[in-house]
């Protein structure tokens, strides 16, 4: 069974910024997760070009009808190449 990924909001009982005004480790982690899960937008197929985590979404601004949305199905090709494994949805 696959693990479900759920993004929890930062704990409101912990400070989001350090005393010097810099983001806390908790906030940096949360921003990193949000950024990695945001849709990627580009011009043309992402296959072999766009590096992303598994489950990422990509929208091709130049795609024809039915050729616009991709999902990153595969984590990598076994050698660490994270630019492959995009599937047209």
Instruction: Indicate the number of domains in the chain.
Output: 1
Whether pTM > 0.75 for this model: the answer is no
Q: pLDDT tens, 21-75?
A: 999 988 888 888 888 888 999 999 999 999 999 999 999 999 999 899 999 999 8
Q: pLDDT tens, 46-55?
A: 999 999 999 9
Range(s) of the domain holding residue 75: 40-88
Distance CA 2, CA 73 (A): 13
User: Does the residue 2 lie in any domain?
Assistant: no
């Amino acid at each position: 069974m696959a693990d479900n990924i759920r993004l929890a909001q930062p704990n409101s009982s912990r400070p989001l910024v350090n005393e010097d005004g810099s983001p806390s480790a908790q906030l940096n982690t949360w921003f990193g997760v949000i950024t990695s899960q945001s849709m990627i937008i580009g011009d043309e197929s992402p296959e072999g070009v766009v590096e992303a985590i598994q489950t990422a979404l990509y929208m091709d601004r130049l795609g024809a009808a039915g050729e616009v949305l991709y999902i990153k199905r595969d984590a990598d090709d076994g050698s660490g190449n994270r630019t492959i494994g995009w599937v047209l949805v």
